[in-house]
Structure 1
Amino acid sequence: MPAYNVTLKSGASPEELEAAKKKVTDSGGKIVNEFKLIKGFTAEFPKDAVHSLETNDHVTVEADGEVKTQ
């Protein structure tokens, strides 16, 4: 399954983050990492289930990928 980073938008409540986690697990996905410095997590879940999270006004969803510095 593809991995996605889900982060809470500014001004959103912690309950919104918990609701996003529940949406992931209810869609057959799993949380693989929870962030410490920002409110968010990385999850693996079916690509066809991503749309349900992307329509949430309280979180940002981005495909997980390698980050390089120059």
Structure 2
Amino acid sequence: MSETGKSYIVTCNDDATPEQIQAAKDNAVKQGGKIGHEYKLTKAFQVIFPKDSVQAFEKSEHVKDIEEDKVVSIQ
């Protein structure tokens, strides 16, 4: 978690067009989020939301999944 909020990974629907992915990013920004990393191999991006703002964004029509960004290990 940063000083300004929590980081999340947003995955768009498998059939989302580039325009729909951009619409999801625009919606995240309108909800107070700040776009971070944009993933090229998947239809996903990182967004940092101020505290409690992610709930409003979860209902975005082109969004498949939102999960908190955290360190993952294989061991």
Would you call these one fold, judging by a TM-score over 0.5?
yes
Matches within 5 A, 1:1-70: 1-59=5-63, 60-70=65-75
Q: How many pairs align?
A: 70
Q: TM-score, normalised by structure 1?
A: 0.83
Overall identity of the aligned pairs, in %? 43
Segments of 5+ residues of structure 2 without an aligned counterpart are: none
Q: What is the Cα-based RMSD across aligned positions, in Å?
A: 1.4
Moved over 6 A (4+): none
Q: Distance in 2 between matches of 1:51 and 1:32?
A: 19
Alignment partners' CA distance in 1, 2:19 and 2:51:
24
**Cα–Cα, structure 1 residues 57 and 25, in superposed 2: closer, same or farther, change >3 Å?**
closer
TM-score, normalised with respect to structure 2: 0.79
- Distance in 1 between the 2:30 and 2:57 partners? 12
Q: How much does 1:6 deviate?
A: 0.5
How many Å separate the matches in 1 of 2:53 and 2:20? 18
Q: Distance in 1 between matches of 2:11 and 2:39?
A: 9
Q: Provide structure 1 residue ranges, at least 5 long, that are not aligned to the other structure.
A: none
SS at match of 1:47: coil
Per-residue deviation, residues 9-56 of structure 1 (Å, max 9, x unmatched): 122222221111111212222111000111110010123221222112
